[in-house]
């Protein structure tokens, strides 16, 4: 018995040393253009889904068919989410094509039939995925607006999406808005003649946009 315990202890110590050596050697490639192995990706997916399911289990979902709530979500989605998660008629952006893990195409899948899960993700974000914790600046009512809109979006075509965004109040979440601006018209491969979404102004070539942090972006 003692021999078995000693053997297991030595094996565990050897594995720990090997793991530490691998970490400190820099052998693990953290580049976003070098995907995880299938085994690592499977483990990460299980960890993510079980973590979210545990924390979203007791969230009470309000009625999501209120039109004002849906319109509010449409405006915030266009301002905050479209660059990563796409929209009807928008197949790819610079961000959606470059992020790893790849953001889900919410235009096609919406909230996936689980509004409580979607609420938790929007509010709390997901570590090391590029998904922000919007609950840091956005009230729950506005987050539910996003969830309500996600429930509707897979059934919208491009024109219906633009109309809904135009009818919304734009980017709003109860204070602290950072003057976010829409760049979705610049990132997809649609013809140059495609109209800018209603209610949104396309930036002019050469225009300099100043961000809230003082940095500049030239169009």
Residue 215's pLDDT is 45
Contact (CB, 8 A) for 180 and 147: no
Lowest-confidence segment of 16-25, 143-152, 208-217 by average pLDDT: 208-217
Please state, for a pLDDT cut of 90, what percent of the chain lies above it. 67
Mean pLDDT of all residues in the chain?
84
Residue 164's pLDDT is 97
pLDDT of 126 above 70: yes
Over range 61-78, report the average pLDDT: 97
Question: Burial letters for 59-69: b for 16+ Cβ neighbours within 10 Å, e otherwise?
Answer: eeeeebeeeeb
CA distance 204 to 159: 23
CA distance 207 to 172: 25
End-to-end CA distance of the chain: 71
pTM given for the model: 0.77
CA distances from 104 to 14, 79, 130 (A): 39, 17, 12
The pLDDT-based confidence of 213 (bands split at 50, 70, 90) is: very low
65 against 184, higher pLDDT:
65
Q: Can you list the alpha helix ranges (DSSP code H) found in the chain?
A: 2-25, 38-56, 67-80, 82-85, 94-98, 106-109, 115-124, 140-152, 158-167, 184-187
Closest of 151, 144, 143, 164 to residue 89, by C-alpha: 164
Residue 11's pLDDT is 87
User: What is the three-class DSSP state of 123?
Assistant: helix
Please state, for a pLDDT cut of 70, what percent of the chain lies above it. 79
Phi, psi of 217 (to 5 degrees): -135, 120
**Regarding beta strands 208-210 and 216-218, do their DSSP bridges make them parallel or antiparallel, or are they unpaired?**
antiparallel
DSSP letters for 166-212: HHS--S-SSS--------HHHHS-S-TTSPPPTT-PPPPTT-EEE-T
pLDDT of 183 above 50: no
CA distance 121 to 69: 18
163 against 175, higher pLDDT:
163
């Amino acid at each position: 018995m003692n021999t078995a315990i000693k053997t297991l202890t030595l094996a565990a110590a050897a594995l720990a040393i090997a793991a530490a050596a691998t970490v400190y050697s820099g052998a693990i490639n953290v580049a976003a253009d070098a995907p995880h192995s299938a085994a690592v990706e499977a483990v990460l997916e299980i960890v993510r889904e079980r973590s979210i399911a545990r924390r979203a289990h007791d969230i009470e979902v309000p009625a999501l068919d209120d039109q004002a709530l849906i319109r509010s979500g449409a405006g915030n989605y266009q301002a905050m989410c479209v660059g990563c998660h796409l929209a009807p008629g928008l197949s790819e952006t610079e961000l959606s094509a470059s992020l790893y893990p790849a953001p889900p195409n919410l235009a096609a899948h919406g909230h996936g039939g689980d509004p409580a899960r979607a609420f938790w993700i929007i509010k709390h974000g997901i570590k090391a995925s590029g998904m922000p914790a919007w609950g840091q600046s956005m009230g729950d009512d506005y987050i539910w607006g996003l969830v309500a809109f996600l429930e509707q979006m897979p059934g919208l075509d491009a024109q219906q999406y633009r109309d809904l965004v135009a009818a919304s109040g734009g980017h709003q979440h109860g204070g602290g808005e950072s003057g976010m601006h829409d760049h979705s018209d610049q990132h997809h491969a649609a013809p140059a003649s495609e109209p800018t979404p209603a209610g949104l102004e396309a930036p002019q070539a050469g225009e300099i946009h100043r961000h809230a942090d003082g940095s500049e972006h030239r169009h």
